[in-house]
Structure 1
Amino acid sequence: MNENAAVYFVDRHLDEGRAARTAFREADGAQRSLTYGDLAAQSASFAGALYRHGVRREERIAMIVRDQLEFPVVFWGALKAGAIPVPLNTLLSASVYEAILNDSRASILVVSEQMWDAVKPAIDGNRFLRAVVVIGGERLCDGTECVSFDAFMAGAEPVQTVEAGGDELAFWLYSSGSTGMPKGVRHIHSSLKATADTFGAQVLGMQEDDTVFSVAKLFFAYGLGNGMSFPMSVGATAVLFGGRPTPDGVFAIMAKEKPTIFCGVPTLYAALVAAQEKQGTKPDHCIRLCTSAGEALPRDIGQRWEKLWGAEIVDGVGSTEMLHIFLSNRPGDIVYGTSGVAVPGYEVRLVDEHDEDVAEDEVGELLVRGPSSAEGYWNRRDKSLSTFQGHWTRTGDKYERTKDGRYVYCGRTDDMFKVSGIWVSPFEVEQALVEFPGILEAAVVARADEQDLLKPAAFIVLKEGASVDGEALKEHVKGKIGMWKYPRWVTVVDELPKTATGKIQRFKLRDIEAAE
């Protein structure tokens, strides 16, 4: 049996009578659409175009592609050819692109026209690229430096999906870089179906008649599941939006496209709630369920969203290494401020520094095992050995388990610190901060005081037109979570440094503190 993921997610739909169903619809630009039949044909032609350019099995196909119709064509076309698609963050700098392209040794690069200026300096002198393909690049490409996507595809013979085993390498994702330079994470064919069969089917309950709008982009694990593999697993429709999500833009797409499932990140939910409350109107939508990941969702934001929208947010935690969410709340069983319980098919543990299980209400590092664990990191043997330990994967997240079995996020392992000998969770302090009037977002790091003892330092983003009394804010935190946990320093900033997945890059804030 051919276990190539493209057979299940693409080719199967033709045999099951869904060729005419819309698989993807663009919400911006020319608002193009792509049926399952179109996708099957175009991805087979893209595989043929790769063969024509001498691509062999397991060669890497780098993708710096916005959320647009060509993304699934390239991704599934590469799998059909037995090549390895490598979707990359579309928000990186040229120097990071250069490092990743050299690290992955990609032989073909596909890039959206809008990204060309950022990408062009990264390919100068690259020894591995044989072709650079620009989507919409007819006027950019002169036939020497790059080739347009249409020219690359012109006359390509469609090919049959190559046979592959479920344990064969399928695609890479580069980690979001919340703690430094991204790492290449290698995933196998069976992992895509595993996440669809677990979180997609058993938590979200996704159906063929759903329309999914994921503001979280396709280039990282959370968005790849939300906006592509989950809807494609059931023959549903996904709405693609390549632009930067603003509250007004997201509201307009919701009103026009009428999605039934909406997938976002905490930062966006906070902005949408603030904008909706400012408008003072009821939102126009057909959403039955929402998801959140990337960073723990503050309790206050979840509660305010549900009050406004009448739709629950299923908040969970996943990772690039596990491909999607493995710990989550469930529809009808939401406790905001927690990450819920293990997704069916996954097991989790909390361990201390000696890898011994911790007791209830004690903080430990979260370990997970399940069917979608990555094969390892590319070219990072030591990191692979320390992260992937037998069947268990170390997440680097600190959690505690409550008496009713729910898991509460405390922070990244290297973000936790002790005050007066007691562990402090940056997220717990941040959650208390954003419940104070006028505060939109907050991030907390450790700073040494005059006695060289660590204390919380807060960075806050204010709502439009708001101001804050620092002393009143400190008293608020003391009353909420404890006398020793309040921030000794409060700094107002315009924005917090984040990855594309919405994770706060606290290491950058620590660097700012060190510089000061």
Structure 2
Amino acid sequence: MSVYDEKPWVALYGDKPATIAPEYVSALDMFRAGLLADPDGEAIRYFDGVVSRRELEEQSDALASGLLAEGFVAGDRLAVYLQNVPQFVVAMLAAWKAGGMLVSINPMSRERELHYLLDDSGASVLLSLEGLYDGVARHVVPDSPVRLVLTTSELEYQTEADPRLFGDTTRIRHEGTTDLTEFIERHRGQVPPPVTLTAQDTAFLTYTSGTTGQPKGAMNTHGNVVFTAMIYRDGARFAPGGSVMAVAPLFHITGLIGHIAISMLAPMPLVLAYRFEAGVVLDALERHRPTCTIGAITALNALLDHPDFTADHFSSFDSVYSGGAAISPAAERRFREATGHQVHNAYGLTETTSPMTLTPFGAESPVDPASGALSVGAPAQSTTVRIIDDDGSDVSLGEIGEIVAEGPQVVAGYWRKPEETAASIPGGALRSGDVGFMNEDGWVFIVDRKKDMINASGYKVWPREVEDVLAEHPAVREAAVVGVPDEKRGETVKAFVSLREGQHVEPDDLIAHCRERMSAYKYPRHLEIIEDLPKTVTGKILRRQLRG
């Protein structure tokens, strides 16, 4: 028997059960239970706008009915290219009611990224903000599987239009697109036929990067979503009667589960503020007085660093968690001193549908005396975490190896990629690619990433993708990209470039070249031009030498 089969972490949960049984079959069941319990209760708060559960039900019914009338069938994909706006939740529910799944797309995605995601997912419907459609999607849609384009505006559902976010925003109507509000009104009052969703059905596709750097669509099932929402409620104490502040982007697995899914399960209002801007979020905290949230430590630090911040902004909170990137003991201490609240740690991946480990609410994450690292928590209830060596064998407690997770939150696989699924999730156990260890009490510590993935403010960046973009510049001969420590982002992207003979270009010009072609979190913040990149005798670039 392996030491991990004895589950040394179970004692950390005190009087809480070590296992939990799902209360609902599908994520749609969670929403409907909340609707039945309190139909006129607030589902979403968006600046000065409020959407009740009844209104959310009617709008998603209308959208689902319209999608079905346009030929949407069970198993189809609805892609959303949105910021944190109410329309995201409406679309999610509508996709499920129509028997389909949601494809969440990063609103920072540029043309080549969006083209890949639409093509790989086979999305037949795209819901996009008007500005994103105008700047990006209209160049991509004609060569994509998309048959219906719905556009919407961040100005909907509110009347304030904060100039810090919406100062120059104008409405744009493009030929070949349909306004979402008009589409919903056209089908208002219609109810889609009953749909039966099982725990094995895919709720949404969330794209991550694998060992080749090519994005893969993780198939997060309804069973995954229900289970991890319960972990937030029972393990992190995102409790009914409060409200959850959406600090993380909704397209990210943290936002999908730690914001939307838990708001449906609790149920509780979901507070949205379009996108993260520290001053705007502080205003939302003051107005809506939320009780819980989870976000990257970089976002929480930005709130503390804002000149308007006071401890009162967090006076309404009961539970604060950090996910997406490991935090240091100093960062945890600073947050507690500034707000009076402990920031609890959680750790997970897209493939674990958010948390695989978390610090049980009220517990103190230990610090590893050897490395000074703060634990990322203990395995969640009903979850087994193992540490394995390169041969796949369990290592002893305290020894370093790859972190592997098994439990109800692990995804069914990658969309249409059986070989990648078999390699990364053999037998349903996720090989995380992260290196760490577990102590004798069951606390998990992350030491490093097994691969060269860069984690910038909680976003994962694959070096080869940046290198490929740099290689598109006519002056570049070779490029190598590594992650380097960064005080604000945790880790940031640095590029090393050698130039073609006779060519000259400034580092800032190459950074601008990447910025124009990539999401904001991916482009290099630092770039050095060197004569030759270090290589092995076989010509492989030695990134480890460039890290220093």
Tell me the secondary structure at the aligned position of residue 237 of structure 2: coil
Deviation at 1:392, TM superposition (A): 0.9
Deviation at 1:129, TM superposition (A): 1.3
Deviation at 1:163, TM superposition (A): 1.2
Tell me the secondary structure at the aligned position of residue 187 of structure 1: strand
Contact in 2 for aligned 1:3/1:165 (Cα 8 Å): no
Deviation at 1:261, TM superposition (A): 0.7
TM-score normalised to structure 2 length? 0.73
Structure 1 residue aligned with 2:201: 168
From 288, 296, 315, give the equivalent of 1:257. Answer: 288
Deviation at 1:123, TM superposition (A): 2.3
Letter of the structure 1 residue corresponding to residue 31 of structure 2: V
From 78, 85, 88, give the equivalent of 2:102. Answer: 85
Q: Do residues 363 (structure 1) and 392 (structure 2) align? A: no
Letter of the structure 2 residue corresponding to residue 212 of structure 1: V
Contact in 1 for aligned 2:125/2:148 (Cα 8 Å): yes
Tell me the secondary structure at the aligned position of residue 287 of structure 1: coil
From 428, 435, 441, give the equivalent of 1:391. Answer: 428
Deviates more, 1:118-127 or 1:214-223: 118-127
C-alpha distance 242-202 of structure 1, shift in aligned 2 (>3 A): same
Q: Within 5 Å, give how 1:22-421 maps onto structure 2.
A: 22-27=42-47, 31-136=48-153, 140-142=172-174, 144-156=175-187, 157-175=190-208, 180-197=213-230, 199-246=231-278, 248-275=279-306, 281-285=310-314, 286-335=316-365, 337-415=374-452
Contact in 1 for aligned 2:28/2:96 (Cα 8 Å): no
Unaligned runs of 5+ residues in structure 1 are 417-425, 431-442, 446-455, 464-493
Letter of the structure 2 residue corresponding to residue 171 of structure 1: F
Deviation at 1:115, TM superposition (A): 1.8
C-alpha distance 503-259 of structure 1, shift in aligned 2 (>3 A): farther
C-alpha distance 375-280 of structure 1, shift in aligned 2 (>3 A): closer
C-alpha distance 326-65 of structure 1, shift in aligned 2 (>3 A): same
Q: CA RMSD in A?
A: 3.3
Deviation at 1:379, TM superposition (A): 3.0
Tell me the secondary structure at the aligned position of residue 57 of structure 2: helix
1:461-492 CA-to-partner distances (Å, cap 9, x unmatched) read 589xxxxxxxxxxxxxxxxxxxxxxxxxxxxx
Unaligned runs of 5+ residues in structure 2 are 1-22, 155-169, 367-373, 464-481, 490-510, 534-545
Contact in 2 for aligned 1:4/1:79 (Cα 8 Å): no
Q: Distance in 2 between matches of 1:512 and 1:383?
A: 35
Letter of the structure 2 residue corresponding to residue 33 of structure 1: V
TM-score normalised to structure 1 length? 0.77
C-alpha distance 317-459 of structure 1, shift in aligned 2 (>3 A): closer
Q: Distance in 2 between matches of 1:407 and 1:268?
A: 23
Deviation at 1:340, TM superposition (A): 1.6
Contact in 2 for aligned 1:185/1:376 (Cα 8 Å): yes
Q: Distance in 2 between matches of 1:351 and 1:510?
A: 36
C-alpha distance 154-180 of structure 1, shift in aligned 2 (>3 A): same
Deviation at 1:49, TM superposition (A): 0.6
Tell me the secondary structure at the aligned position of residue 158 of structure 1: coil
1:326-359 CA-to-partner distances (Å, cap 9, x unmatched) read 1111222122611121111111000010111112
